[in-house]
Amino acid sequence: MVGRATQRIEAPTPNYFIGQGKVEELKAQLGAARATLVLFDEPLAPVQGTNLEKALDVRVMDRSEVILDIFATRARSAEAKLEVELAQLEYLLPRLTRMWTHLSRIRGGIGLRGPGETQLETDRRRIRRRISALKRRLEHVAEHRANQRHGRRDLPSAALVGYTNAGKSSVLRALSGEDVFIEDRLFATLDTLAREVDVGDTYHFRITDTVGFIRKLPHHLVASFRATLEEAREADLLLHVIDAAHPAWEEQVGVVEDVLTDMGLYDGERGKGKGERASGSHRKRTIHLFNKADLLPDPDAFLAQVRERYPHAVLTTAWEGRSGKGAEETFPHSPFPFPDGVDRLRSVLRTSARALRPVARIRVPVGDGRLLSELHRRGEVLGREQMDGVLVVTARVEARLLGQLRRDGVAVDIAP
């Protein structure tokens, strides 16, 4: 980057987004710096981008285009590549006129069109066909994911959500003990990844990593990543990972909450008023996980402060280099204990697993094969014994299934 320019205006101008005088000033700066590219930290309308390129005589990229380019370089799986391509094409479609300004346009006669206009219409048709094809393929991906979920072992599930680079993949790796790709950069991972995690006392959780969010995330991306974000919609709870050491963590929390509210998932204060649409069956319990605690000067004071707003907040560190053996030497001035950066989180998940999948004793009439089959299919049968003509099944099952059984008149007792 060779320079930066800002302008305070009451509202963006329809022609250039910035004022005419600022355009002239910017053009002079570009000439002096011999710059060939201008990046805007705001989304530009197609006409604004076109006018700016004509006025400045250089390539102009807005915030959305930059983020789309970053996503394109990060996508690895076939699904992520489909999602990014769809977002790019939907962004490109209304901006195609910029690409054909060098071709002539014949005017004045009915039905006469220049080669530029003909090519433009051809490209638009091709892009629309490609967009339709990508949407169909992503619908198949969503259906395939739904089938996978139904075929999985019945476990409580949690989705990791949060601002990009907050440490979601690090948390997943620390919990699972498996090799998960992590890197200290924006959108290091775009692919959904699920791991089964042992949280203790024979309880297990399925933890799914999802794509990170960012301020002013292009709506094309949110729409395109619906297939991936379905994992968050289907999860029993959300683990909102927050970079506790980031100076603007509160702003980042707001960004994530707004996206979750728009998806109908968030059940916090932002899920009310503007987010009334978040009410209903998709409202999720959210655990706020403040990560990178080792970088805080006073973790205990920080935790006391955030718990005024998030009473059940968890403070942890997930990077192996910051926790475990030797951490007290690495961070001698930190009062925060580092024996295991995720022990507290495992405890919270274990408590949640007990609530979501309690162990119950269910009295099944002998010969009721349908009910017995349902318990094996939807729960984890731990044991059974026959008493007085009744089969007593001890099983770990969903709380909502227990409620359904009680309504059907089946005797159910929660094990102590």
pLDDT at position 321 = 44
pLDDT at position 17 = 94
Mean pLDDT (whole number) for 187-206? 77
Please report which confidence band the pLDDT of residue 185 belongs to, taking 50, 70 and 90 as the band edges: very low
The range of the structural domain enclosing residue 394 comes to 358-414
User: Do the domain assignments include residue 72?
Assistant: no
- Tell the residue number behind the tokens 């997930």, with chain if given: 318
CATH code at position 272: 3.40.50.300
DSSP state of 326: T
Residues 207, 301: Cα–Cα separation, whole Å: 29
User: Do the domain assignments include residue 233?
Assistant: yes
pLDDT beyond 50 at 244: yes
Please report which confidence band the pLDDT of residue 120 belongs to, taking 50, 70 and 90 as the band edges: confident
How many CB atoms are located within 10 Å of the residue 310 CB? Answer: 18
Pick from 39, 41, 49, 40: nearest CA to 14: 49
- Counting every residue written for the chain, the total comes to 416
By the 10 Å C-beta count (0-12 exposed, 13-18 middle, 19+ buried), 9 is classed as exposed
**pLDDT tens profile 371-380:** 888 888 888 8
**pLDDT tens profile 63-98:** 888 888 888 887 777 887 888 888 889 888 888 765
Q: Which of 314, 339, 354 is the last residue of a domain?
A: 354
357 CA to centre of own chain: 25
pLDDT at position 319 = 59
pLDDT at position 69 = 86
**pLDDT tens profile 8-67:** 888 999 999 999 999 999 999 998 988 899 999 999 998 999 899 999 999 999 988 888
Q: Which of 333, 354, 375 is the last residue of a domain?
A: 354
99-138 per-residue burial string, b: 16 or more CB within 10 A, e: under 16: ebeeeeeeeeeeeeeeebbeebeeeeeebeeebeebeeeb
Q: Which residues contact residue 158 at a Cβ distance below 8 angstroms, ignoring those fewer than 6 apart?
A: 205, 206, 207, 208, 235, 236, 237, 238, 239, 287, 349, 352
**pLDDT tens profile 162-183:** 898 888 888 888 888 775 544 5
pLDDT at position 379 = 80
Pick from 1, 98, 86: nearest CA to 45: 98
Please report which confidence band the pLDDT of residue 108 belongs to, taking 50, 70 and 90 as the band edges: very low
Between 86 and 338, the more confident residue is 86
User: Do the domain assignments include residue 384?
Assistant: yes
Whole-number Cα distances in Å, 326 to 172, 179, 281, 291, 293: 22, 22, 46, 19, 16
Ramachandran angles phi, psi of 203, nearest 5°: -95, 145
Please report which confidence band the pLDDT of residue 117 belongs to, taking 50, 70 and 90 as the band edges: low
pLDDT at position 400 = 79
Asked if 242 and 348 sit in the same domain, the reply is yes
pLDDT at position 170 = 85
Tell which phi-psi region holds residue 367, choosing left (phi > 0), alpha (psi between -120 and 50) or beta: left
User: Do the domain assignments include residue 80?
Assistant: no
Residues 391, 31: Cα–Cα separation, whole Å: 85
3-state helix vs strand vs coil in the chain, percent to 5: 45, 15, 35
**pLDDT tens profile 289-337:** 999 888 888 888 998 999 999 988 998 887 554 444 333 433 343 444 4
Q: Say what the pTM is.
A: 0.74
User: Do the domain assignments include residue 246?
Assistant: yes
Residues 292, 86: Cα–Cα separation, whole Å: 34
- Contact (CB, 8 A) for 237 and 284: yes
Asked if 231 and 347 sit in the same domain, the reply is yes
Q: Which of 354, 381, 400 is the last residue of a domain?
A: 354
Amino acid at 178: E
Q: Domain count of the chain?
A: 2
pLDDT at position 95 = 81
Apex 43 CA angle, 39 and 44, nearest 5: 85
